[in-house]
Chains A and B, each alone.
Chain A
Amino acid sequence: MKTYLPPKFIVERDTERCIQCQACVSQCSFDVHSYDSEEDDVISQGDNCVGCHRCAVFCPSGAITIKRNPLQYNENYNWQPEVIEDIKKQAETGGVLLVGMGNDKQYRIYWDHLVLNASQVTNPSIDPLREPMELTTYLGCKPDKLDIGPDSKLQTELPPQIKLEVPIIFAAMSYGAISLNVQKSLARAATEMGTLWNTGEGGLHPTLYKYGPNTIVQVASGRFGVHAEYLDAARAVEIKIGQGAKPGIGGHLPGEKVSDEVSVTRMIPNGTDALSPAPQHDIYSIEDLSQLIYALKEATNYSKPISVKIAAVHNSAAIASGMVRAGADIIVLDGLRGATGAAPKIIRDNVGIPIEMALASADNRLRQEGIRNRASIVVSGGIRNSGDVVKAIALGADAVYIGAAALVALGCTVCQQCHTGKCSWGICTSDLRLSKRINPDIGASRLANLLRGWSLEIKDILGGMGINALESLRGNRLQLRGIDLTDTELQTLGVRMAGS
């Protein structure tokens, strides 16, 4: 069928600058550039361009410019080009529209409507360059009270805790969705910076077991690669109920991505679809969740915190309460803008609630019920910079997960083609030719640099507020003020209006 879809991008080659080196030809994984040996000419066909800018970055003479196709349809607010093209695509395929990365729609980003406080006159700010500042965060269940014996020794048996040097963890991204070199980069950076990375539901590759003390392993509905050594290797075990990009639905890793190596970690034959059912069929209730939490505690002999991750949805505060009562040591809320390697577009763009709202209401609810100490809260879904991190912690989070931000650090330009498996940056692909593009040494150092930069900024912000330990900011919503928000929004966030 002839496609009626117009090209999304226009690729311009400055023929005066182009030196015919063909770097673009070898870098593009979407067949935009080709070399005509008869004419000795490099040709660029914009039709397939996804706007990933790999060629433009790697062109040694700066000859390539990529522009959005202006698509001068008649102006219509209701019938935007994206809407028209989605319909055409479905008319041509009859399929569910698939997409990668997080929600790109114009939902309000509440981080941008929250501002932070600083000390002026009445209390001194702290200069983090010269005074000690602490970002250390402990994840895990905290006891209701501590008993200290006559010898001043702690008598209460503490549940397992994880010490983080920075309150930023790399989000769950499975091997299969991302390449092994990306996981290596994440694992090394997490180890270097004293934080954690998360396997996602794709098993743990044999070469990554050595990073176990900095690894969260996931147990999800497909139970891929879940076995005794996998659970034993980890620092924490995470039960994945849902994810922000696709709340309520399962995952299908297409057979063509299940390569030999992916098959080893997932422990399934290669070439078969790896289907993660929508629900975990042993969890239909909070009581059932508790059963799996304790199955994992039994399987790991109560030595590791058990985390439960859900997508932020309408009732997440009540669900969070259930999760804590079910025995979760860490609860993870993944918001509307959470990213993915592949999700139905209609789900990604329409299901779930913003993480800021979910976090504020869950933290509130747990405090009201007097059980906030029993679990740490980790949030994810669209955290872009250290400002977002600080605001999340002031709203009540113990730590944040970053996924997309970490991938951007590795080169990702958020072109949203993760689901095609053709990522030209070598990130979201199991194609060995492409995944070689990520060098784990360089990748780890880029990621560690990002965390280092954010840590310095967080310390700066804290110092400005006159706070020298992140602990003192946690859930301290008086350090936040809202701008351009309605009364209901302010009330849900538990934040006062700027100026009040």
Chain B
Amino acid sequence: MDKIVKINAEGVKYRQLNIKLRELTANGTGKIELHNICGQRYIGTDLEGAVEIEIFGTPGNDLGAFMDKPRITVHGNAQDGCGNTMNSGEIIIHGHAGDITGLAARGGRIFVRDDVGYRAGIHMKGYNDKKPTIVIGGTAQDFVGEYMAGGIMVLLGLTLSKGERHKACFIGTGMHGGVIYIRGDVDDYQLGKEVDRAELNNEDNELLESLVGEYVEYFNMNPKEIMSTRFTKLFPRWLRPYGRLYAY
């Protein structure tokens, strides 16, 4: 059932839009194109099944919040909270994404071609076979990977000009699980107290190659150029960063 349904979302409120999306997915529509999207929130929330949604325009906050299974491609920028508490599925953004991208995501994957705002990947957590993954082509603002409890965060820095460095501070503050890979260097002062750096091993390289491979496929870039620059791996120093905080 690979019927493609096109919707002109001009002037359509999110509630009506989501009702339409629910209807379409319930009757087995495989692919939906949303045109003229302009700020509608919650697109893809509460959709069941592996439907593919292509968005043309700028979706509003909480794109794919609580999402389970759908795959959303945005031809434009996403705003705040995209992939909020996501369980599974994919969000691919041909542009920038706002603050708290992937907040508290438990699973699923987010690929952002360009930059993201503050606190990307905050409180992502892995569980069993679920490993939330965020690949950011550009750079991120402060507190990226804050409170991370699991999952994978990759920053490629492709939007930085030659010699320019990532400017994010408090990277991985409070992190107690998962891993962050940053292409290029970051200084110690930019790191949260709870993270440490390590050399990449074979497993890391394989993982990065496959994630970068996917990234370049989505956004049509050259993988060799990306992989030729050194990556920094950040990991949580403690499983229990605040275990010694208390007096019993």
Contact = CB atoms under 8 A, between A and B. Distances in A.
Contacts of A282: 62, 80-81, 84, 100, 103
A459 interface: no
User: Across chains A and B, which 7 residue pairs bring their CB atoms closest together, nearest first?
Assistant: A95-B247, A223-B104, A93-B247, A98-B246, A267-B127, A299-B46, A298-B42
B243 interface: yes
Interface residues of A, number: 40
Given A93-B247, A272-B149, A275-B149, 9 more contacts: A228-B66, A228-B68, A269-B177, A272-B240, A273-B239, A275-B242, A295-B42, A295-B62, A298-B42
B246 A299 contact: no
A254 B239 CA distance: 11
B45 interface: yes
Nearest to B125: A268
28 contacts: A98-B247, A98-B248, A221-B123, A223-B103, A226-B104, A227-B68, A228-B66, A252-B245, A255-B239, A255-B243, A267-B106, A267-B130, A269-B150, A271-B239, A272-B177, A277-B174, A282-B62, A282-B81, A282-B84, A291-B61, A291-B62, A294-B41, A295-B62, A295-B66, A298-B14, A298-B42, A299-B65, A344-B246
Contacts of B248: 93, 95, 98, 419-420
A118 B48 CA distance: 56
A294 B46 CA distance: 12
B35 interface: no
| SS of B interface (majority) | loop
Nearest to A223: B104
Interface of A: 89-90, 92-98, 221-223, 226-228, 231, 252, 254-255, 263, 267-269, 271-273, 275, 277, 281-282, 291, 294-295, 298-301, 344, 419-420
Contacts of A299: 45-46, 65-66
B133 interface: no
A231 B149 CA distance: 22
A328 B104 CA distance: 22
Contacts of B242: 252, 273, 275
B244 interface: yes
A298 B119 contact: no
Nearest to B65: A295
A227 B88 CA distance: 10
Contacts of B126: 269
B76 interface: no
Contacts of B29: none
A298 B87 CA distance: 16
Given A95-B246, A255-B243, A281 B127 contact: no
A231 B46 CA distance: 10
A263 to B, nearest CB: 8
Nearest to A91: B247
Most B CB within 10 A of own CB, among A272, A277, A419, A420: A272
A95 B8 CA distance: 59
Most B CB within 10 A of own CB, among A252, A344, A419: A252
B46 A298 contact: yes
